[in-house]
């Protein structure tokens, strides 16, 4: 592998699958049991806030019973050791990347960007203030900023809403010389278009690590298929050995 100075990694639900969290579109995925229109749009929340809160309360509670796996840990080790710029963009709202990174001395050019929000944060619909949150959100939950009940929503980007950190992400994609996409089906934009953004910039190598070919697999320069806990540590080890 050629030495690299700027890396962007994009992760999706597949990286957390072996920790025990369901993906969205695989057999028994979250979108098999729940319709997107019922639980993952602003209209759904306006129509039936309890149903939407229950869906995210269930997912938030599940975080207590799962741990980061070898793939999250390998990326955290890269964040500790890689001296260039490393932007870890995740579509996942679980906190497994953050937990794998916790307690490590991270390089100053590292950043974790959860572009679809975070289960462990809630947002006040009145003030847009974001606060950390552990338990369920119930109709009785009182907002710490406006002291109202019924104003808190999950800090999650729903369909029809703008993903977070897009300016930073686009800058990182345009500047990177290695883009690695891990555990995502490539169904949801803008993340599904990141590989094209790197190609447009014209200097970044693109790699897909996934259980099976994604929607956009043919756009990647290199493709390796298998479970993330096997592929990612091996790929990152090789990267560290050749670039650090």
Positions in the binding site for ligand OAD (CB under 6 A) = 12-14, 17-18, 23-26, 29, 40, 91, 116, 157, 183-185, 187-188, 210-212, 214, 227-228
Q: Which is nearer to ligand OAD, 139 or 190 (CB)?
A: 190
Shortest distance, position 173 Cβ to ligand OAD, whole Å: 17
Is 97 assigned a catalytic role? no
Q: What is the DSSP string of 106-129?
A: --TTEEEEETTEEEEEEEETTT--
Burial class (CB in 10 A: 0-12, 13-18, 19+), 44: buried
Q: For ligand OAD, which residue has the nearest CB?
A: 14
Longest dimension (CA), the chain: 56
Q: Which is nearer to ligand OAD, 5 or 187 (CB)?
A: 187
Q: Which is nearer to ligand OAD, 79 or 93 (CB)?
A: 93
Q: Which is nearer to ligand OAD, 120 or 185 (CB)?
A: 185
Shortest distance, position 115 Cβ to ligand OAD, whole Å: 8
What does DSSP say about strands 85-90 and 130-132: parallel, antiparallel, or unpaired? Answer: unpaired
CA distances, 115 to each of 91, 129, 142 (Å): 6, 17, 26
Starting at the earlier edge strand, list the strands of the sheet with 152-156.
130-132, 117-124, 152-156
Residues 6+ apart with CB under 8 A from 33: none
Shortest distance, position 186 Cβ to ligand OAD, whole Å: 7
What does DSSP say about strands 178-182 and 130-132: parallel, antiparallel, or unpaired? Answer: unpaired
Q: Which of 116, 155, 203, 217 is catalytic?
A: 116
Shortest distance, position 88 Cβ to ligand OAD, whole Å: 14
Q: Which is nearer to ligand OAD, 3 or 226 (CB)?
A: 226
Shortest distance, position 57 Cβ to ligand OAD, whole Å: 15
Q: HEC profile for 216-237?
A: CHHHCCEEEECCHHHHHHHHHH
Burial class (CB in 10 A: 0-12, 13-18, 19+), 56: buried
Catalytic (active-site) positions: 116
């Amino acid at each position: 592998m050629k030495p690299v100075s700027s890396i962007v990694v994009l992760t999706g639900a597949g990286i957390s699958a072996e920790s025990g969290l369901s993906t969205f579109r695989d057999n028994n995925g979250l979108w098999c049991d729940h319709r997107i229109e019922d639980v993952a749009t602003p209209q759904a929340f306006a129509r039936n806030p309890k149903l939407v809160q229950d869906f995210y309360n269930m997912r938030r509670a599940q975080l207590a019973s799962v741990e980061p796996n070898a793939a999250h840990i390998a990326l955290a080790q890269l964040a500790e050791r890689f001296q260039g710029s490393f932007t870890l963009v995740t579509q996942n709202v679980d906190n497994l990347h953050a937990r794998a990174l916790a307690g490590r001395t991270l390089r100053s050019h590292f950043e974790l960007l959860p572009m679809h929000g975070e289960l462990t944060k809630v947002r006040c619909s009145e003030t847009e203030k974001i606060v950390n949150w552990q338990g369920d959100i119930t109709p009785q939950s009182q907002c710490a900023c406006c002291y109202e009940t019924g104003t808190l929503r999950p800090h999650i980007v729903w369909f029809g809403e703008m993903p977070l950190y897009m300016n930073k992400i686009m800058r990182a994609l345009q500047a990177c010389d290695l883009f690695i996409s891990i555990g995502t089906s490539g169904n949801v934009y803008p993340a599904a278009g990141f590989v094209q953004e790197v190609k447009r910039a014209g200097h970044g190598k693109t790699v897909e690590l996934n259980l099976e070919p994604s929607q956009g697999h043919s756009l990647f320069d290199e493709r390796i298929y298998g479970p993330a806990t096997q592929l990612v540590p091996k790929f990152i080890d090789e990267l560290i050995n050749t670039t650090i």
